[in-house]
Amino acid sequence: MSTTIPFNKPFMTGRELWYIAQAHTNGHLSGDGQFTKKCHAWLEQRTGTKRALLTHSCTAALEMAALLAEVQAGDEVIMPSYTFVSTANAFVMRGAIPVFVDIRPDTLNIDESKIEAAITPRTKVILPVHYAGVACEMDTIMDIASRHKLIVIEDAAQGIMSTYKGRALGTIGHMGAYSFHETKNIVSGEGGALLVNDAAFAERAEIIREKGTNRSQFFRGQVDKYTWVDVGSSYLPGEVIAAFLWAQMEEADAITRRRLDLWDRYHAALAPLEAAGKLRRPVLPDGCVHNAHMYYILLDSLEQRGKVIDNMKRQGVSTVFHYVPLHSAPAGLRLSRAHGSMRHTDELSARLLRLPLWVGLEDSLARVVTALNEAL
């Protein structure tokens, strides 16, 4: 049998090591050097955000957002349960309570029509997660937030290079968070960025990221002392990570094009299976331009999914599923609550299966499709 097709394989552009060598030669290895500045400028120019700040991870960016939003113990944060743990944990660390609402059955994004009923006097933040790089219904969410004076923080971990009505994901709420984890589209191993869209948070964001000091202002010559001015932590990555990331950002358009091509090929190849009622393909609402972060399918049941995974594995194709809904996870039961029925979250999370999607899959995509047809 031919070699197993992995579920993910991080793409290297070829210039990563060259830029890391340059960072080394520059002799500046801590954060906010030349490569970090290039990445910041690229993010600001490409997304239109007021201030982009590289972080160690999307998790770190969400933790910064929680601090900037001044989330306090007992405050409530409305989010989907169908998401990665960091969406909740960044706020639980501040003593806040995640309040989950169900997802839409079409996009698997938070159901915007169920948000308003979950708002209480303790609600502080709405946290939409753009699943698979396909936008949440942001116009409705921003309208609810402005009427109730809530802060919107977008978990756009999967959303770089995607847009909603022409605007980059992560730039529509007050703040947004990207991930450059090796499983995402643009990678640096571990890595992330906070997008500060509301200028009111920009200065404090720099301070919180630099251990609660005014170091950034000091280096710009805006203050004459470098000192402790606020709470904070160390959220900035070193230059080696930024150098790696810069090589990826330079190729972001090409990477996205190649991923979209693979996504489109899956979508066309699986149309007959959908027509035959054997699976459901992803749905892209009008106004959403996606980044082909993920190709998933929805099968009939949990039992069938298990059989399909095993069958495809025997044929040398790795497939995976996620997430265990947070409201039913051990920590979720202790630290959060669900508002209303979690019917779609429970049902769809049991039926979802992700197919391999990575730059370089071009030659093996047909084998994945054949294996899936066999398995079904």
Binding site residues, ligand PLP, CB under 6 A: 57-59, 83-84, 86-87, 129, 155, 157-158, 179, 181, 192
Nearer to ligand PLP, 168 or 372 (CB): 168
For the CB of residue 191, give the shortest distance to ligand PLP in the complex, in Å.
Answer: 7
For the CB of residue 83, give the shortest distance to ligand PLP in the complex, in Å.
Answer: 5
For the CB of residue 176, give the shortest distance to ligand PLP in the complex, in Å.
Answer: 11
Nearer to ligand PLP, 87 or 256 (CB): 87
Tell me the pairing of strands 175-179 and 192-196: antiparallel
Nearer to ligand PLP, 59 or 216 (CB): 59
Nearer to ligand PLP, 59 or 123 (CB): 59
For the CB of residue 201, give the shortest distance to ligand PLP in the complex, in Å.
Answer: 20
Q: What angle do helix axes 34-47 and 239-250 make, rounded to 10 degrees?
A: 40
Nearer to ligand PLP, 213 or 295 (CB): 295
From residue 42, give the alpha-carbon distance in Å to each of 45, 59, 148, 157, 168: 5, 21, 34, 17, 13
How far apart are the C-alpha atoms of 180 and 167, rounded to whole Å?
20
First to last CA, the chain: 20
Query: Residue 311, class by beta-carbon neighbours within 10 Å (0-12 exposed, 13-18 middle, 19+ buried)?
Result: middle
Please say whether the beta carbons of 128 and 110 come within 8 A: yes
Please say whether the beta carbons of 290 and 133 come within 8 A: yes
Tell me the pairing of strands 288-289 and 163-164: antiparallel
For the CB of residue 370, give the shortest distance to ligand PLP in the complex, in Å.
Answer: 29
For the CB of residue 147, give the shortest distance to ligand PLP in the complex, in Å.
Answer: 26
DSSP helix/strand/coil, 47: helix
Please say whether the beta carbons of 192 and 58 come within 8 A: yes
For the CB of residue 158, give the shortest distance to ligand PLP in the complex, in Å.
Answer: 5
Nearer to ligand PLP, 129 or 342 (CB): 129
Nearer to ligand PLP, 101 or 157 (CB): 157
